């Protein structure tokens, strides 16, 4: 039924979920592809799951996956990738610091490319958060040579067959463009809107914006060296 699935990772976001429902319902009416939404509840300890189930009950194009315990953003995204049946998959953070309507900007490019990622213009974050992200992105580009300025932007569209072949591990969500390049795919970045967090609490600090990504860069280099890529010529 659906051409495009939006994954929404959730961890303790009860204050944002009704707004997420409204924004994504509004987007569904203007989406350039027939769209479904998949919540992935990453072991939330608040009332997020109860709200998610209520939202899914009243909206036929909303579904959910509920983890037994918190496993992190990369695991939530990977679970979403593994579950989708649509040709295209994307994701957006449940804090809605990016706008669902900007998915249409990304979808306009996806025919020619295999991954289209947003790059946050005029970021509305603190100086420390912006600076740590800038440094982390510079380090990552030096390791991956992917040419992307903002892989942490929580607005992406990927062709599902590429997404399903990504061997995900913790922290690898920052390397999605590089992992598409390993599959000989084509990537591009598109400027998107960015807004301050309206509710809830950010789950990231200086450690997982700087030290963690640096360690993940070495994991990526190991994976790049060991990565197996192949194309099937025919079947019989």
Write the pLDDT tens digit of every residue in 155-204. 999 999 999 998 877 777 888 998 899 899 999 999 998 776 666 555 55
Kindly state the tokens that stand for 107: 């979808």
CATH topology for 4-226? Spore Coat Polysaccharide Biosynthesis Protein SpsA; Chain A (3.90.550)
Count of beta carbons in the 10 Å neighbourhood of residue 218: 10
Least confident segment among 63-72, 87-96, 111-120, 137-146? 137-146
pTM: 0.84
pLDDT score of 208 more than 60: no
Residue 87's pLDDT band, with cuts at 50, 70 and 90, is: very high
Of 75 and 210, more confident: 75
**What confidence tens digit (pLDDT) does each residue in 110-139 have?**
999 999 999 887 665 555 565 566 666 666
Contact 164, 83 (CB under 8 A): no
Judge contact between 174 and 133, C-beta under 8 A.
no
Residue 90 has pLDDT above 70, yes or no: yes
- Spatial CA neighbour of 32 closest among 119, 105, 116: 105
pLDDT at 108: 96
What's the start-to-end Cα distance of the chain, in Å?
Answer: 30
**In the chain, what is the greatest distance between 2 CA atoms, to the nearest angstrom?**
58
Looking at every residue in the chain, the average pLDDT score rounds to: 86
Q: Which DSSP state fits 63? A: E
**Mean pLDDT within 129-157:** 73
Residue percentage of the chain with pLDDT more than 90: 58
Least confident stretch, 73-77, 93-97, 207-211 = 207-211
């Amino acid at each position: 039924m659906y051409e495009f699935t939006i994954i929404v990772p959730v961890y303790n976001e009860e204050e944002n979920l009704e707004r997420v429902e409204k924004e994504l319902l509004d987007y569904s009416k203007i989406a350039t592809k027939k769209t479904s939404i998949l919540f992935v509840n990453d072991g939330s300890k608040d009332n997020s799951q109860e709200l998610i189930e209520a939202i899914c009950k009243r909206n036929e194009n909303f579904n959910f996956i509920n983890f037994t315990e918190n496993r992190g953003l990369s695991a939530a995204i990977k679970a979403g990738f593994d579950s989708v049946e649509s040709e295209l998959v994307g994701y957006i953070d449940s804090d809605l610091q990016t706008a669902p309507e900007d998915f249409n900007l990304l979808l306009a490019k996806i025919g020619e490319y295999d991954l289209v990622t947003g790059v946050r213009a005029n970021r509305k974050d603190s100086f420390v958060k912006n600076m740590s992200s800038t440094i982390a992105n510079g380090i990552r580009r030096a390791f991956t040579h992917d040419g992307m300025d903002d892989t942490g932007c929580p607005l992406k569209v990927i062709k599902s067959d590429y997404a399903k072949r990504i061997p995900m591990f913790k922290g690898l969500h920052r390397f999605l463009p590089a992992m598409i390049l390993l599959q000989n795919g084509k990537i591009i970045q598109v400027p998107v809107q960015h807004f301050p967090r309206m509710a809830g609490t950010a789950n990231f600090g200086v450690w997982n914006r700087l030290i963690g990504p640096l360690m993940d860069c070495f994991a990526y280099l190991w994976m790049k060296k060991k990565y197996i890529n192949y194309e099937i010529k025919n079947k019989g």
